[in-house]
Structure 1
Amino acid sequence: MEELQAKWTFDQGGFAKALIAPTPMGAGYHLHLVKFGRQAETVVLERQRGGWRVFKSIDAAANTANAIGFRRIEIDLSSR
């Protein structure tokens, strides 16, 4: 899901929370957006040209989550 679509979904009340987690190879961070519902489906923010968006810092991911509309953000460093 791209940032513009994520903003729209957030405005409609579609997300429960935002979660910042390290990438699998440790090259940066992904922004996971958790949807409301029984399954609590998670989507990762994507680039416009395809593929998952990788942030170089936690601050960059947090600023993007804030721009989408989130005021509270979780950070999961358990996979480091």
Structure 2
Amino acid sequence: MELLGISITEWVGYLASALVLLSFLMKAVTKLRLVNMVGCVCWVIYGFMLDVAWPVIITNASIFLVNGYYLFNKKVV
């Protein structure tokens, strides 16, 4: 399935890239981590859509967990 000549898989990859980029433009660390976590989830979905690209999945799942640790266990919020 395509939208504007671009596959859904590619759209998910573009969304993931945009969210991670957006997160680095934020001054507030809490917002940065939250947006980055959403971007990581998109990257993990993208990794599975690419017939299981483990390097993409493992890296972004790990980054998601690190962000979660600092948000919830270190009381950054």
What TM-score does the superposition give when structure 1 sets the normalisation length?
0.28
Between Structure 1 and Structure 2, whose CA radius of gyration is higher?
Answer: 2
* Larger strand proportion of the pair: 1
* Larger helix proportion of the pair: 2
What TM-score does the superposition give when structure 2 sets the normalisation length?
0.29
